[in-house]
Structure 1
Amino acid sequence: MIILFGWEDARKTSGIAAAFIVLNSAAGLLGNLASVQRLPAELPILVVSVFAGALLGTWLGVSLLPRCRLLQGLAIVLVIAAMKLFFT
């Protein structure tokens, strides 16, 4: 494990980011439920899609992608999240 300037390993950072995204999404669904009093009708399709994406992402991150590609993917996800935070 290489740690530069106090940064954590890429695989651990990806796992933490994934956990944050799950918790953030759950909070959004609960907020939607509290304000609109119902969940989206597409929720079962979205849950299946999220589960499939999580399996694929875990497989890619753990066994297939080299470290540099994992970092690039993580950077893309974090930039998209930051842009969404600033512009929505």
Structure 2
Amino acid sequence: MTAVRVHRYTVAADRLDDLLDRRAQAITGIRAGFPGLTGTRLIGLEDGSYVDTWTWESAEQMNAALQASSGNPGVAAILALTGDHVVASGEIIADI
């Protein structure tokens, strides 16, 4: 079943370009090392926060990548740019 990891966070306007660069590098690295990442989408909300969704072929593939990224300096650098970070994982049960 398709799994999704959803992050919601804020980023200072003057750091957004840094976040976008680091995020793109992280996505490239994860795709090179872990199969199953089928898509990512960053959405800027009208309140100034962002929702970042990462879609995986399966929860197992997502969890393997998450375990490997724990303590990764690149991931830490991305998180350092964000505030009010909330994360949740789930599985798509309907996609119309």
TM-score, length of structure 1 as denominator length: 0.34
Which of the pair has more CA radius of gyration?
A: 1
Task: Identify the structure with bigger relative contact order (alpha carbons < 8 Å, sequence gap 6+).
Answer: 2
- Which structure dedicates a bigger proportion of its chain to helix? 1
